[in-house]
Homo-oligomer: A and B are copies of this chain.
């Protein structure tokens, strides 16, 4: 095991054991290096890895002794991993599309179930989805802005479903999804016509969730995702 990996293993064990809890600080670089009998650069490498994985953020302010703070942004860490694997080109778009269909059709069904159960927060999520849809319905919205709103609209139902792991995976896929959709738009015969159809489909998803109809919501989101992929040839 290389030196920075020993540091990583030590920090991971301490976090798992609750020695450093969420929101607390790890010891500073110097203290860790002395305690473990390793070099400062090795400690820093381990901290950089934890930062990239979304486990800590760097200490602010007072120099090398301000230890990194334990945080939890699962989406950030998964996002970096997924984004880079898409960059290497070995994560095929068809697998990303299939995974989206699977996770999102589940998520909207859960979201519809929460409407039926009158679960807390439901109304706020629906309100936000309506607001995003209204902005997408503005005829002047540019394609790039539309796509930002589109992703936020989809993620709103994923958040509404209330599973942090699924949410982390979907948030992690954000870059990969944005990438294939942007490529797909270039290939469309007519963006305005497709945009109109997407608005109608979004409306169908929203209405089904708001009505608490899980089956209709799943079917609508599946048809929507697969339809775009087919039309755009991605």
Q: Does B163 contact A87, Cβ atoms closer than 8 Å?
A: no
Residues of B within 8 A of A198 (CB): none
Residues of B within 8 A of A8 (CB): 52
Closest chain B CB from A186 CB (angstroms)? 17
Closest chain B CB from A107 CB (angstroms)? 10
Q: Does B84 contact A53, Cβ atoms closer than 8 Å?
A: yes
Q: Does B88 contact A84, Cβ atoms closer than 8 Å?
A: no
Compute how far the CA of A4 lies from the CA of B58 in the bound complex, rounded to whole angstroms.
Answer: 13
A77 part of interface (Cβ distance < 8 Å): yes
Q: Does B44 contact A95, Cβ atoms closer than 8 Å?
A: no
Compute how far the CA of A80 lies from the CA of B98 in the bound complex, rounded to whole angstroms.
Answer: 24
Interface size class of A (residues with CB under 8 A): 35 or more
Q: Does A80 contact B53, Cβ atoms closer than 8 Å?
A: yes
Taking a contact as CB atoms closer than 8 A, the residue among B18, B55, B88, B96 that contacts A22 in the complex is B88
Q: Does A87 contact B16, Cβ atoms closer than 8 Å?
A: yes
Q: Which of A165-173, A209-217, A223-231 contacts B (4 or more CB under 8 A)?
A: A165-173
A82 part of interface (Cβ distance < 8 Å): yes
Q: A12-B84, A78-B82 are in contact. List 13 more A-B contacts (CB 8 A).
A: A41-B44, A46-B48, A48-B49, A49-B49, A52-B52, A54-B81, A55-B84, A55-B85, A77-B81, A91-B165, A95-B164, A95-B165, A95-B166
Q: Which A residues are closer than 8 A to B by beta carbons?
A: 2, 4, 8, 12, 15-16, 18, 21-22, 41, 44-46, 48-50, 52-55, 58, 70, 72, 74, 77-78, 80-85, 87-92, 95-96, 98-99, 102-103, 106, 163-166, 168-169, 173
In the assembled complex, 21 residue pairs joining A and B whose CB atoms fall closer than 8 Å, in A order, are A4-B48, A8-B52, A15-B84, A16-B87, A41-B44, A49-B49, A50-B84, A52-B52, A53-B80, A53-B81, A54-B81, A55-B88, A72-B90, A74-B82, A81-B81, A82-B165, A91-B164, A95-B163, A95-B164, A102-B103, A165-B173
